[in-house]
Amino acid sequence: MKKEYIVDTPRMPVSWREETKAHKFCPGCGHGLILKALGQAIDELGIQDRIVFVCDIGCCLLAWDLFNTDGVQTHHGRAVPVATGVKRANPDSICIAYMGDGGGYAIGAQHLVNATARNERITVLLANNTNYAMTGGQMAPTTLIGQKTETCPYGRSIEQHGEPTRGPEMVAAIAGHGAYVARGTVSQMNQLKKQIKTALQTQLDGSGFSFVEALATCPTNWRTNAHETWQFLNNNMGAYFQTGEFKKPEEQEV
Amino acid sequence: MKDLKEKNETKDKYAVRPIVGEKRAFATGNEVVAWAALAADADIMYGYPITPQNEIMHYWTRMSEKYGRGFLQTEDETSAGFTTLGGVLAGRRSFTATSGPGNMLMQESMCMAEMMRLPTVMIVQQRGGPSTATVIYSQQEVNLTCFGGNGEGFRIVYSTCSHQELFDYTINAFNVAWTHRFPVFVLGDGYQAKMREPVTMYDPRDKGITMVPTEPYVLKEGCAGVDREPQQMRNTYNTEEELNEVVEGLNAAYQAVIPQVVKHEEYACEDADYVIVAHGVVTRAAQAAVEYFREKGLKVGHFRPVTLRPFPGEAFRPIADRAKKILVAESALGQMRRIMTDTIYGCSTPMVNFFKPGEGISTEEIIVKVEEMMAEDK
Amino acid sequence: MHKRIAEAFVGEYASGKSENAIYRALSLKKAGGKVTLVDFDIVEPCYTLRPLKQELTELGLNVLAWSTSETFGLGEAGQTILPQARWALRREGHIIVDVGYGADGARALNLLEGSAVDPDLRVVLVLNARRPMTDSAMRIEEYIESMGRVDGIIANTHLADETTPQTVEDGYHIIKEVAKRRNIPIDAISVSQQFNEKYPKFGLDDKELRVLGAFMPRSFW
């Protein structure tokens, strides 16, 4: 006799690849939520057949087979140029470069800056969890003042390490006409999905570069329980990193 | 960007042929490379300025506009290399060109190309090294071009000696790359880049050369996950065993390619007592030296590896064994020699080094060296 | 009193500008008077007058070019205009300017003080119809258009040591066709010394034949 189980199927975006679930992130990790928002945005725009999902090195590479879309996993910091190369050679593709704060603001910073300056018609989605999570929790460009990591064991200091990088502010400052720049958070999923959708729409319209930073949780490296995790995300990170839209395609240059 | 899209959508973008028939032209090596890429139906070049390869970009950008091809000037050579991978992933005949410090930065992306079997084409016009050094000439990028990066050198490197070869091998590079799916390098140098000499330019189709068709790695027909499996590529592996299997697989594929691509040239080697080994532009001096000695009835030959990777060791072994002495002439401190001696391990023929890192080698100098070797044997 | 000659040699990369500029300067010198030869190459650090400076000075020319010992990091940091070169048109005597190639064509002359108003200055285009970018009437015309200003042409078609009278003649006819259409005079036909020794009787249309020295191959880098 076959035994019947009642299965409660989680509602996954259609563009997610079922065979590769459950995903490989730690419990409580923000990546799953960001990628859920991305999946929903892809679903709503109906562009699964045009996506090239390019992922960086770091925890983000665990997403290399997460979607039911084509994708390429690259080297650390090099997701932006690979996405740029694909897009330039095939303008009909919708290229998403997915990376962490180290990949975008440190090792791949000049790619990010110059892709922005050239107004490349790609979408960069960046998870900011204030540390290098995959390599064991080292200081990132986004590590908060006073925050302890393996490479700033006494806490990040302004004197030693400067202030944490505010990515979208930097990108918005150099982004050209028609670009879209925003920061969301995994604690505001509707807003985050909307931002990602606008970013992809920007690419679909071909109006300019699009960039969304998502504040993300990393309980493993923060060594926080559920309550503390949420507090750190909303209070500590939220106080320094303002969410919202920094540049929109319809805004005319003064 | 819109223009580029329109260009890509123009179906008959290759209807206007840049070269009609066969043409004898007077050109610099860099220009020749740009024309060859154009004639080979290359779709897009990604690049970053560095001397002595700049005119490849200058001429490509002047012509790509007219013939509907793409160009992107990136922020650095790291980006130029990785965007080239992107172009290949999109199924376009993509290439880049660089030199010296730029070659160093591009090795990162070329490693990824080796791991993922991406048919990139890269032109290297060698300059002096180490570091910034000179922009003029050397043969000091042999190590880097053959074995750069954290891998095993799964690549094909052609060392050219003339403008004609720059033209022929650039066209050939695209076909070898897209046939075997390994990165292909055309290794020139600053002299070849800047020198002017006559060259025959042609449309490969007029010579019966078919350009090997390209195909996209991502965004093939149909919707990923609906009509077909998604194409998801990676270069990261988890365990030693898993990686070992992947690398052994790459090696098996590479070993199978070797006999199909390995190439050398022999000049009067059959009975040669003294064999000069030289590659690239130095082969010209070696060839002239052989002519000089043969006219005097002296048994001097020249062996020229055309592919430095894979190195034609099998062809060289019997020649090396038979010779009394071998002269290795290089504008580097033995970068080619190290590769060569490895492939003829056990050969006991004495070798004489003639190394001039960063400087050209003339026929006269080689003649003097060979005469010295002969005098020692008397 | 000689009429002051002021000529700026422009043209496609490797078209033979420098060799023609040297020829012109030396022949004016032979005819008497002061001659200043100016290196105005701002793109290409190889094949410039720089390595020939001493040799040409010894031949009586006033050469405005960097000396190799004064330069540093060619192709990386060394591409600057010699300050004196900028004011060359103010000098006494004949002025021959060797302008490098570049996407902006003859506009490089904007860097030469007084070039727009100098009544004597002529922009002379050196053309080799065997250079791939100028190998047909259509391409030459397109090229001339991109130059901005051309007052005279030198037909310098060759294939190095493979040059035959046919090579020169075929090139000349293509160039002549365009020159006529655009109403630009052909100043001269130039050939190499080697060619002239092989074909001493060669001539076309009674045009002045300039037999070029082989200075430039010695100036590589």
Domain of residue C112 covers: 16-219
pLDDT band at residue A254 using 50, 70 and 90 as cut-offs: very low
| Whether C162 and B52 lie within 8 Å, measured CB to CB | no
C78 has a pLDDT exceeding 70: no
Query: pLDDT tens for residues C10-29?
Result: 998 889 999 999 999 999 99
Among A3-12, A149-158, B182-191, B322-331, name the one with the lowest average pLDDT.
Answer: A3-12
Q: B197 and B287 in one domain?
A: no
Residue range C41-62: mean pLDDT, rounded? 82
Least CA distance to A108: which residue of chain B? B79
Q: How many CA atoms lie within 13 A of A151 on its CB side?
A: 14
B207/chain C closest Cα distance in angstroms: 19
DSSP H or E segment with residue B319: helix B313-322
Which pLDDT score is estimated for A11?
A: 83
Per-residue confidence (pLDDT) for residue C45, from 0 to 100: 61
Which of these ranges, A110-114, B355-359, C96-100, C168-172, has the smallest mean pLDDT? C96-100
Give residue B329's domain range: 266-377
Q: How many CB pairs under 8 A join B and C?
A: 66
Query: Per the structure, how many domains does chain C have?
Result: 1
Is B78 found in the same domain as B174? yes
pLDDT of C71 = 67
Instruction: State whether B86 and A73 contact (CB < 8 Å).
Output: no
The shortest C-alpha distance from A48 to chain B (Å) reads 7
Please name the residues in contact with A123: beta carbons below 8 A apart, sequence gap of 6 or more: A94, A95, A96, A97, A196, A199, A200, A202, A203, A210, A211, A212
What pTM, to 2 d.p., does this model score?
Answer: 0.93
Is residue C3 a part of any domain in this protein?
no
pLDDT (tens digit per residue) in C107-136? 888 888 998 899 999 999 999 999 999 999
Q: ∠ CA B348-B349-B354 to the nearest 5 degrees?
A: 125
Task: Point out the residue among A65, A89, A111 whose CB comes nearest to the CB of B87.
Answer: A89
Same domain, B72 and B168: yes
B5 to chain A nearest CA, in Å?
6
pLDDT in tens, A68-117: 999 999 999 999 999 999 999 999 999 999 999 999 999 999 999 999 99
Hey, are the CB atoms on C46 and B136 less than 8 Å from each other?
yes
Q: Which residue type occupies C153?
A: I
Mean pLDDT along residues C35-63: 85
Answer whether residue B104 shows pLDDT above 80: yes
Contact between chain A and chain C (3 or more Cβ pairs less than 8 Å apart): no
Q: Which of residues 164-223 of B touch C (CB under 8 A)?
A: 190-191, 194-198, 201
Q: Do B52 and C46 touch (CB under 8 A)?
A: yes
Q: Which two tokens stand for residue C172?
A: 């000349």
pLDDT at position B5, please? Answer: 42
A70 touches chain B (CB under 8 A): yes
Q: Residue B136 sits in a domain of what CATH number?
A: 3.40.50.970
Q: What is the pLDDT of residue B371?
A: 98
B312 part of contact set with chain C, CB < 8 Å? no
Residue B336 located in a structural domain: yes
Domain assignment present for C42? yes
Question: Is B227 a member of any domain?
Answer: no
Measured between CB atoms, which of B90, B232, B234 is closest to A89? B90
Q: Are residues B54 and B164 in the same domain?
A: yes
B186 and B328, same domain (yes or no): no
Helix/strand/coil (H/E/C) assignment for every residue in B254-318: HHHHHHHHCCEEEECCCCCCEEEECCCCHHHHHHHHHHHHHHCCCCEEEEEECEEECCCHHHHHH
* Cβ pair A85:B90 closer than 8 A: yes
- Once rounded to an integer, what is the mean pLDDT over residues B259-275? 98
C158 touches chain B (CB under 8 A): yes
C189 within some domain:
yes
- B234 contact A CB<8A: yes
B282 and B372 in a single domain? The answer is yes
Is B21 in the same domain as B154? Answer: yes
Q: Do chains B and C touch (3 or more CB pairs under 8 A)?
A: yes
In the numeric block, which tokens belong to residue B37?
A: 């890429």
Interchain proximity A90–B216, CB inside 8 Å: yes
- Does a structural domain hold residue B241? no
**What is the CB neighbour count within 10 angstroms for residue C4?**
15
Residue B257 within any structural domain of the chain: no
Q: What is the mean pLDDT of residues A191-204?
A: 98
Domains of chain A with bracketed CATH: 18-139+165-247 (3.40.50.970)
Residue C10, domain member (yes or no):
no
Answer whether B87 touches A (CB < 8 Å).
yes
User: Could you report the per-residue pLDDT of A161-188, keeping only the tens digit for each?
Assistant: 999 999 999 999 999 999 999 999 999 9
Question: Does B127 share its domain with B35?
Answer: yes
pLDDT(C77) > 50: no
C9 lies in some domain: no
Domain count, chain B: 2
Q: Minimal Cα distance from B111: which residue of A? A: A75
CATH of the domain at B313: 3.40.50.920
Q: Which of chain B's residues have a Cβ under 8 Å away from the Cβ of A56?
A: none
Q: How far apart are CA B40 and CA B203, in angstroms?
A: 8
The span from the CA of B329 to the CA of A119, in Å, is 49
3-state helix, strand, coil in chain B (%, to 5): 45, 20, 35
**Residue C2 maps to a domain:** no
pLDDT value for B20: 84
**Does residue B261 fall inside a structural domain?**
no
Average pLDDT taken over every residue of chain B: 95
| pLDDT computed for residue B9 by the predictor | 45
CB < 8 Å to B232, chain A: 64-65, 70-73
Read off the pLDDT of residues A45-78 as tens digits, 9 standing for 90 and up: 999 999 999 999 999 999 999 999 999 999 999 9
My answer on whether B9 and B88 are in the same domain is yes
pLDDT of the residue at A17:
94
| Secondary structure (H, E, C), B168-198 | HHHHHHHHHHHHHCCCEEEEEEHHHHHCEEE
Q: What is the CATH number of the domain that holds C70?
A: 3.40.50
B128 and B8 within one domain = yes
**B245 found inside a domain:** no
Q: Residues of chain B with pLDDT > 70: what percent? A: 96
**Band of pLDDT at residue A10, cut at 50, 70 and 90:** confident
B8-21 per-position pLDDT tens digit: 444 445 567 888 88
Q: Considering the domain boundaries, does residue B331 fall inside one?
A: yes
Are C162 and B28 a contacting pair at CB < 8 A? no
C46–B194 C-beta distance less than 8 A: yes
Chains with ≥3 CB–CB distances under 8 Å to A? B
Please report whether residue C98 resides in a domain.
yes
More confident residue, B295 or C40: B295
B62 vs C contacts (CB less than 8 Å):
103, 133
In this prediction, residue C72 has a pLDDT band, given cuts at 50, 70 and 90, of: low
C62 belongs to a structural domain: yes
Please indicate whether, in this complex, the C-beta atoms of C132 and B52 are within 8 angstroms of each other: no
Is B248 domain-assigned?
no
pLDDT in tens, C134-166: 999 999 999 999 888 899 999 999 999 999 999
Higher pLDDT, B140 or B6: B140
Report the pLDDT value the prediction gives residue C106, as an integer from 0 to 100. Answer: 75
pLDDT of residue B4: 45
**CA distance, residue B30 to nearest chain C CA (Å):** 11
Please, what is the average pLDDT of chain A? Answer: 95
- Shared domain check, B179 and B48: yes
